[in-house]
Amino acid sequence: MKSTWVTEITDQARKEGRLSLTEAESKSLLSLYGIPVVEEATAVSEDDAIAQSREIGLPVVLKGLGARLIHKTERGLVKVNLKSDDEVRQAYRHIKDAAGEDWEACLIQPFIEGNREFAAGLIRDPQFGPSVMFGLGGILTEALSDVTFRIAPLDEIQARSMLDEIRACKLLGAFRGEAEVDKKQLIQVLMSLSRLGMDHPEIREIDINPFIVMPDGSVRAVDALVVLANAEEIPVAIEVIDDRNMEREKEIRAALDVMMHARSIAVLGATVPRPNFPGIFECVRRFGFNGRLYPVNPRGQDYNGIKFYSSLSSLPEKVDLVIVSIPAPLVPEALRECVATGNRNVHIFTAGFKETGEEEGLRLQAEIEKIAREGGLHVVGPNCMGFYVPASRMLTWTDASKESGPVSFVSQSGGNAQDFTHYLSSIYNIHFSKCISFGNALTLDSCDFIDYLSHDEDTKIITMYLEGVKDGSRLLRQVREISRRKPVILYKSGLTESGARAVSSHTGSMAGGEKIWKAFFRQTGAIPVDSLEEMADVTLAVHHIRAAHGRKTTVLGIGGGNGVAVADSCARAGLELPAFSPDLVSKLRNSIGIDGSMIKNPIDSVIAFTSLPVMGETLELLAQSGEIDNFIISMSLDWLTLKKEESGTYAETVATYLVEEGQGHTHGKPLIAVLRQYQPDPTTQKSIPLVEKILLSGGIPVYKSLSQAVSALSKLVTYNASIVEESQARLIQR
Amino acid sequence: MKSTWVTEITDQARKEGRLSLTEAESKSLLSLYGIPVVEEATAVSEDDAIAQSREIGLPVVLKGLGARLIHKTERGLVKVNLKSDDEVRQAYRHIKDAAGEDWEACLIQPFIEGNREFAAGLIRDPQFGPSVMFGLGGILTEALSDVTFRIAPLDEIQARSMLDEIRACKLLGAFRGEAEVDKKQLIQVLMSLSRLGMDHPEIREIDINPFIVMPDGSVRAVDALVVLANAEEIPVAIEVIDDRNMEREKEIRAALDVMMHARSIAVLGATVPRPNFPGIFECVRRFGFNGRLYPVNPRGQDYNGIKFYSSLSSLPEKVDLVIVSIPAPLVPEALRECVATGNRNVHIFTAGFKETGEEEGLRLQAEIEKIAREGGLHVVGPNCMGFYVPASRMLTWTDASKESGPVSFVSQSGGNAQDFTHYLSSIYNIHFSKCISFGNALTLDSCDFIDYLSHDEDTKIITMYLEGVKDGSRLLRQVREISRRKPVILYKSGLTESGARAVSSHTGSMAGGEKIWKAFFRQTGAIPVDSLEEMADVTLAVHHIRAAHGRKTTVLGIGGGNGVAVADSCARAGLELPAFSPDLVSKLRNSIGIDGSMIKNPIDSVIAFTSLPVMGETLELLAQSGEIDNFIISMSLDWLTLKKEESGTYAETVATYLVEEGQGHTHGKPLIAVLRQYQPDPTTQKSIPLVEKILLSGGIPVYKSLSQAVSALSKLVTYNASIVEESQARLIQR
């Protein structure tokens, strides 16, 4: 609900040429939104200051007030703990002198004592819009940058989670004889800032610092700054999800569906394949596209009985998808032809546009964007690899698995589209439903693809590689909604970029890209990963396990590799490696026997591997105890492949046992295998893919290192917890 | 230099049954060591308090003073900013009442204003002894734990480096109108604490908090607490490096040299080999030990013409090394026989001692330790794998490379000894001079092996795996000295352990194992790694490059994998990926040409790979520019192995070019290759080891991922910087 008073006061300030409100105005504005501020009075004479001070009650604080007065502390314009008329008078004189021409009045407040100071604020992130900050306050705010962000709008659960996230969260509890902070009040403050940000686009930034915690735990804003947007920065209207948007989304979904299941494709710029350079037309053909495929090239030469067409208009039909693979300068004309012939679905493979960062590329991109928008084209690209849809036998690069699977991938990079689809299917034997490489996002952006996939029944897991995003708010809304039904695994690169921007508030100076994206992940439940390899690791865990709900983990292995270092790996990943109860230890000791084994967590036991029923019993006892949520079997391959069996190496026997028997002993709790291997012995090398195949076909995730395994598992546990939290939030809202 | 006054005052306190000094005593003690403390007076009457306050000058602070008064703030026994006689009188009354029977006097100090508060302190680490703390002070010290440690004794350079290490280091500069902190003064304080810790073992912990920074930048200790050790905790004498120690070290070095180059070995408990279980005797024999090898086992059966002996006394000679591989309960008797027969060099392979954590194991270890010490035995083990010395054809496990190399490895874990030696030699083709697995460290500990290796001319790089250490101070001294000549790469596990101990000071509560080990690494120059794989990665960089002195890095590659994510990897590893100057960009553009390439850092250029002279020119231009310290070539193998050459794949051609030509264009600056590969195509798989072999034989480190490469490189740069810093420290000391 927009406040008329706020609009008036901000209009007034701007009329006066100011881009910030005075402290008094700022606090009135916050007060209006229910944020507790210290009471205050203004005085323009010494006697008035003394009278007001008496009214408020000594001791008081005096500050300079003026439209041009910011950074008051640094200028010596704040005098605290004034205990007598005399001290008030001296302070008044000092401030008035020091402020010089900028002085308009003195602000008088009660002197609030409290040892704990926090800060809260609002910024507008260029990608995500209004975002709320909370953190350590006082003089340390910027020196320590102990702050956390959430993208508006926020609900109560999200606001509460901010409080636990700062390093100084201990200060929120009872502290040195002072009461626990009134968290309800703080949460209301953060939600009010969120509302302010949503209601008033004309407000660019807000700083509240410090927020003093009084000995009784209540909080009070002692200083505040509201920064206004330049007129040209103010969004014309905050986007609303209206019927027109819904219609547009529906239309794009339908168009994408036609493209993904194309029955006819035209390739502009098709060429006769050369060795090592098949060309995009030949790629599509070789992968076995079984619709109607038209090579278009006025200079094309028929080959293998394939007839070339000279232009789109010479085709016998309008096609489901036009693939543009011609030099960049020719693309505008080609798009005009698409518009003219009513071929509206286009994938532009060609590069040489905005991504070059050079003038000609930027100009060309602007030109084709205009043609596409005016002509109502649905464009994937330019500068992208396009589509991979195994069920439609559609592939616009050289090679990929022909099997279909539950994963879809949306990638801003064409290289990553190829690499990740290869990697996941060949290393982990998990296959794809759809993969879209979309490059420069001329008309269709990540959000459009995500929207399509969220409605796609064949897609169970969504993976994404993003460098930037055009409409952060929409992405946030979408991913938050989708995550509840389908896990979204997101590799966002460029997190460490220094996001140098002009900001006027302390809050703004601390809002780097990494902090805002952290908020994005926290608020949407999307699973963050830092590389394609890690994206595959997490996909593997999500695909095979899904129901992982606790952090208490045990590792069963052999020898030196299963000692102290295991605890380090678990601790770094955020999993627990709890000590077993004495009762459980004695049960395990009975089962495993005395010799050589270390009956503690991690378990180091040769016998559990040489006698597989002992492994089964061990898993069973651990599962029954209720002390363990997750089971990791660490297989020392250099050793387990030494022993040969009729059917292969003993490692394969262990893998088969885990699939056929072992899994049954964990009572439905996650079981993961880790392969340890340091010696490239030929037998071992030959056995590894066999062991992996046995485990993966049996639904057991298998990793090459413990750190990969525990990191993937921990992220899955976090994801599941976020789903629970989100359902709670929805329940409360009802 | 021990202070008699300090000894007297601590003795007196202990006589009174106190384990801490009063605030006044604590400050006098600090003052004696040149630490600036606020002036103060004590008063035992109201009038006296007022008189003293006037003497000191208002405003003042009043605090309760008493032997049993700690945590004064929490008890309300500190009153600040008292500006009049009346306020002093009220404060005096309040404190006296609140302290009750614990009250002895009131302490009066000037009220020092300053916005910045730091903390400093001393603790005794169980492994490393006296250690100095510096960090953020005031009420946030423990909530934020923004502190850093150094192990005493400290020099000026080490003390200075502490200041830059805390997150709040910005507060040390000029800040909000207050002067830069007097760093010299702070450094003196830290060095004084170090001296206090070295001089006075009867002092267990010191807290100085807060250290207030005055507006002029000088610092003043406002509160202090000195905690004393229990009588039984005080070390009898601080170890000194005297002649006796030197003699002992020399003797052990000589004994180890005999063992490593043994010409005669006896194996107690030798058995006839069974399939898959060769036994330790057979391992030594098979590896080709060419000295005299005696199997000893009263029940041993001659095989392959090998004669068994019934006991050590039946051998024809005293041997250079006795290997004990018999059940644990029989080990004491075997050691007695070693003593009796004058066979003093022993490796105990047998497990079942202290490492079990069980009563019988602990008892047995104590028993054999007594026998070994009294009999003057040099024991490696028990519970360990022993020796691997390829030049002596000595190996006490199943398999290892027969080649010798420049690396030695000291490992507390036998499994890691086997895994790491296999891994480094088979994956990176780097070989070992010596490897020692020492397990429970009965008489010989890590320090003894390190000392030996530091004198060993064949060892150029020392690698270590440690879980704990008996004599931390000695290890620190040793590694600091060795690092200047030979890089020491240390994998310390157990860093994340929660080191729950009883401590009385705030400083103590923040000194976890991870923080102290961080100090160890910082002070010694040892290179920290977190896994065997990372140890191998760093060894590879150290072995082939060594001279890496800058962080400005460029990555030259192809396609999507060489974009934004590269900057993330570099930033995380602590390397820079600087933008090129316009001049350099235009030179590169001239050389590389217009089409398709992205002339920014990282460089994405197909042509630099398809036309190798262009790659050479690119490297040359970059090297000449002086803008780049390190060169990384990212090879996309899925693509580079598509193209076949006469001699193999094109990837091999590129590798050969880098070795023969490319290296010459970096002007001696580091060149590293990274292999990118996502598709297990058989041609690619076959080509990878060939590419690796070409690069490694040519002295170019090659990694499987960019993150491994940049992390290893960054650690090498840090190491080299620490050597420079250490030489500076030594110059200053002269």
A677 versus B71: the higher-pLDDT residue is A677
Q: Give the residue-averaged pLDDT of B536-562.
A: 90
Q: Give the residue-averaged pLDDT of B610-626.
A: 95
Pairwise CA distance, residues A344 & A379, whole Å: 8
Would you state the pLDDT for residue A1? 61
Chain B residues near residue A144 by CB distance under 8 angstroms: 136, 144, 146, 167-168
The encoded tokens of residue B642 equal 């598509």
Nearest to A493 among B116, B427, B565 (CB): B565
Pairwise CA distance, residues B383 & A285, whole Å: 64
Q: Give the residue-averaged pLDDT of B320-345.
A: 97
Q: Give the residue-averaged pLDDT of A195-220.
A: 92
Statement: residue B238 has pLDDT above 60: no
Amino acid type, A576: E
> Considering Cα of B458, then B463, then B469, then B475, what sign does the dihedral take?
positive
pLDDT band at B135 (very low <50, low <70, confident <90, very high): very high
Pairwise CA distance, residues A328 & A352, whole Å: 6
Phi, psi of A549 (to 5 degrees): -125, 5
Distance from CA of B49 to the nearest CA of A (A): 21
Would you state the pLDDT for residue A445? 93
pLDDT band at A498 (very low <50, low <70, confident <90, very high): very low
A244 versus B37: the higher-pLDDT residue is B37
Nearest to B351 among A171, A568, A596 (CB): A596
pLDDT band at B501 (very low <50, low <70, confident <90, very high): very low
The per-residue pLDDT for range A315-360, each reduced to its tens digit, is: 999 999 999 999 999 999 999 999 999 999 999 999 889 887 778 8
pLDDT band at A269 (very low <50, low <70, confident <90, very high): very high
Nearest residue in B to A84, CA atom: B83
Nearest residue in B to A141, CA atom: B168
Distance from CA of B112 to the nearest CA of A (A): 15
Would you state the pLDDT for residue A505? 60
CB of B730 closer than 8 Å to CB of B152: no
3-state secondary structure of A270: coil
Statement: residue B236 has pLDDT above 60: no
Would you state the pLDDT for residue A256? 97
- C-alpha dihedral, B601 to B607 to B613 to B619, nearest 10°: 0
Provide the 10 A C-beta neighbour count for residue A625.
Answer: 15
pLDDT band at A99 (very low <50, low <70, confident <90, very high): confident
Judged by CB atoms closer than 8 Å, whether chains meet at A600 and B357 is answered as yes
Nearest to A568 among B171, B351, B496 (CB): B496
Nearest residue in A to B176, CA atom: A74
Statement: residue B276 has pLDDT above 80: no
Would you state the pLDDT for residue A508? 62
Residue with tokens 């923004």: B146
Statement: residue B155 has pLDDT above 70: yes
Chain B residues near residue A576 by CB distance under 8 angstroms: none
Q: Over the range B164-181, which residues count as b (16 or more CB within 10 Å of their CB) and which as e? A: ebbbbbebbeebeebeeb
- C-alpha dihedral, B152 to B155 to B156 to B157, nearest 10°: -100
The per-residue pLDDT for range A661-671, each reduced to its tens digit, is: 999 999 999 99
End-to-end CA distance of chain A: 20
Chain A residues near residue B568 by CB distance under 8 angstroms: 493-496, 530
Would you state the pLDDT for residue A731? 77
Nearest-5° Cα angle at A49, A47 to A51: 70
Pairwise CA distance, residues A520 & A125, whole Å: 12
Range among A79-83, A152-156, B596-600 rated most confident: A152-156
Q: Give the residue-averaged pLDDT of A503-510.
A: 59
3-state secondary structure of B75: coil
pLDDT band at B500 (very low <50, low <70, confident <90, very high): very low
pLDDT band at B656 (very low <50, low <70, confident <90, very high): very high
Question: Helices A706-733 & A156-165, crossing angle to 10 degrees?
Answer: 140
Nearest residue in B to A167, CA atom: B144
Q: Give the residue-averaged pLDDT of A535-542.
A: 98
Q: Over the range A499-527, which residues count as b (16 or more CB within 10 Å of their CB) and which as e? A: eeeebbbbbbbbbbbebbbbbbbbbbbbb
pLDDT band at A644 (very low <50, low <70, confident <90, very high): confident
Would you state the pLDDT for residue A594? 66
Backbone torsion region of residue B596, taken as left when φ is above 0, otherwise alpha when ψ lies between -120 and 50, otherwise beta: left
Please classify residue A596 by burial: count the beta carbons closer than 10 Å to its beta carbon, then call 0-12 exposed, 13-18 middle and 19+ buried.
Answer: middle
Write a three-state SS string for A313-340: HHCCCCCCEEEECCCHHHHHHHHHHHHH
Phi, psi of B150 (to 5 degrees): -140, 145
Distance from CA of A144 to the nearest CA of B (A): 5
Nearest to A561 among B171, B356, B416 (CB): B416
Pairwise CA distance, residues B521 & B148, whole Å: 13
pLDDT band at A597 (very low <50, low <70, confident <90, very high): confident
Q: Strand B78-82 vs strand B630-636: parallel, antiparallel, or unpaired?
A: unpaired
CB of A320 closer than 8 Å to CB of A263: yes
The encoded tokens of residue A517 equal 């994206």
Q: Among B188, B127, B154, B186, which residue's Cα sits nearest to residue B523?
A: B154
The per-residue pLDDT for range A134-160, each reduced to its tens digit, is: 999 987 888 888 999 999 999 898 999
Would you state the pLDDT for residue B682? 84
Pairwise CA distance, residues A522 & A527, whole Å: 9
Provide the 10 A C-beta neighbour count for residue B2.
Answer: 11
Beta-ladder partners of A625: none
Would you state the pLDDT for residue A237? 52
Q: In which element (H, E) is residue B420 found? A: helix B414-428
Judged by CB atoms closer than 8 Å, whether chains meet at B177 and A74 is answered as yes
pLDDT band at A102 (very low <50, low <70, confident <90, very high): confident
Q: Strand A60-65 vs strand A105-110: parallel, antiparallel, or unpaired?
A: antiparallel
Lowest-confidence region among A457-461, A505-509, B410-414, B486-490: A505-509
Pairwise CA distance, residues A171 & A180, whole Å: 8
Nearest to B560 among A143, A415, A638 (CB): A415
Mutate to test the interface with A, among B61, B564, B636, B645 (most CBs of A within 10 A): B564
The per-residue pLDDT for range B98-108, each reduced to its tens digit, is: 888 888 899 99
Report how far apart, in Å, the C-alpha atoms of A68 and of each of A72, A181, B706 are.
10, 34, 51
3-state secondary structure of A77: coil
B469 versus B386: the higher-pLDDT residue is B386
The encoded tokens of residue A62 equal 């005096």
Statement: residue B613 has pLDDT above 80: yes
Would you state the pLDDT for residue B241? 60
Would you state the pLDDT for residue A501? 42
DSSP A179: P
Question: Helices A46-56 & A85-99, crossing angle to 10 degrees?
Answer: 130
Where does B16-145 have alpha helices with state H? 23-32, 46-56, 85-99, 141-144
Provide the CA B16 distance to its chain's centre, in angstroms. Answer: 41
Distance from CA of B458 to the nearest CA of A (A): 25
The per-residue pLDDT for range A384-437, each reduced to its tens digit, is: 999 999 999 999 998 899 999 999 999 998 989 999 999 999 999 999 999 999
* ipTM of the shown complex: 0.88
Provide the 10 A C-beta neighbour count for residue B86.
Answer: 10
Statement: residue B611 has pLDDT above 80: yes
Would you state the pLDDT for residue A500? 38
pLDDT band at B45 (very low <50, low <70, confident <90, very high): very high
Would you state the pLDDT for residue B456? 97
The encoded tokens of residue A661 equal 């028997």
CB of A66 closer than 8 Å to CB of A104: yes
**HSE-up of B508 (CA within 13 Å, CB side)?**
20
Judged by CB atoms closer than 8 Å, whether chains meet at A563 and B467 is answered as yes
Write a three-state SS string for A281-293: HHHHHHCCCCCEE
Amino acid type, B223: D
Statement: residue B422 has pLDDT above 60: yes
Would you state the pLDDT for residue B568? 86
Chain A residues near residue B136 by CB distance under 8 angstroms: 140, 144
Would you state the pLDDT for residue B498? 47
3-state secondary structure of A154: coil
Q: Among A396, A424, A439, which residue's Cα sits nearest to residue A531?
A: A424
- C-alpha dihedral, A511 to A515 to A516 to A520, nearest 10°: -170
The per-residue pLDDT for range A682-731, each reduced to its tens digit, is: 888 889 999 999 999 999 999 999 999 999 999 999 999 999 888 887 77
Judged by CB atoms closer than 8 Å, whether chains meet at B561 and A416 is answered as yes
Pairwise CA distance, residues B302 & B308, whole Å: 6
Q: Please, which residues have CB within 8 angstroms of residue A684's CB and are 6 or more apart in sequence?
A: A637, A638, A641, A649, A677
Chain B residues near residue A417 by CB distance under 8 angstroms: 560
Nearest to A83 among B83, B355, B426 (CB): B83
CB of B670 closer than 8 Å to CB of B630: yes
Nearest to A643 among B177, B276, B558 (CB): B276
The encoded tokens of residue A637 equal 């391959």
Provide the 10 A C-beta neighbour count for residue A330.
Answer: 13
How many residues can be counted in chain A?
Answer: 734
Q: Among A692, A710, A703, which residue's Cα sits nearest to residue A654?
A: A692
Would you state the pLDDT for residue B356? 77
3-state secondary structure of A118: strand
Q: Please, which residues have CB within 8 angstroms of residue A621's CB and are 6 or more apart in sequence?
A: A584, A587, A588, A591
pLDDT band at A66 (very low <50, low <70, confident <90, very high): confident
The per-residue pLDDT for range B174-187, each reduced to its tens digit, is: 987 789 999 999 99
Lowest-confidence region among A69-73, B279-283, B324-328, B338-342: A69-73
Judged by CB atoms closer than 8 Å, whether chains meet at B561 and A705 is answered as no
A730 versus A501: the higher-pLDDT residue is A730
Judged by CB atoms closer than 8 Å, whether chains meet at B144 and A139 is answered as no
Q: Give the residue-averaged pLDDT of A299-312.
A: 88
